Every structure is written in C-alpha cells, then in structure tokens.
Amino acid sequence: MIVNCPTCKKPIEWGEQYPDRPFCSERCKLIDLGAWANEEYRVPAENVDPDDLDQTPDEPRH
C-alpha cells in the first residue's frame, strides 16, 4: 500500500522500510510533533454547560 507522508506528501510504501510511518522520515515526524507543540493543530471541541457535568465525587480506590 502506498501512502503520502502527512508532512511532505512524499509517497511511501507502508512497510518495515519506513519505521516512522506514516511519515517518510524522523525529520518529518519531528516537524509534525513541533506543529502540535506550537498549537498549530487543534482538535475541535464543543463547549460544555457545567450543569451537564457529573458532579458526584469519585469513589475511593481499593
């Protein structure tokens, strides 16, 4: 199977020869990690009404 590297878009074969898959290299993997660390990527979330949250205390752990 051929996939495109999410960072540079280079086509790579999905296999053991690319241990950093889906990235083509360690460099592309680190570029992507840096983008997450710089908050360039975000996971969408919905605002939650505090009244909708479960307010019961956690039960003691055994």
For 7-49, write each residue's pLDDT tens digit.
Answer: 999 999 999 988 999 999 999 999 999 999 998 888 888 887 7
The residue ranking higher by pLDDT, 57 or 51, is 51
Q: Is 5 exposed, middle or buried (0-12, 13-18, 19+ CB in 10 A)?
A: buried
The CATH fold assigned to 2-41 is Erythroid Transcription Factor GATA-1; Chain A (3.30.50)
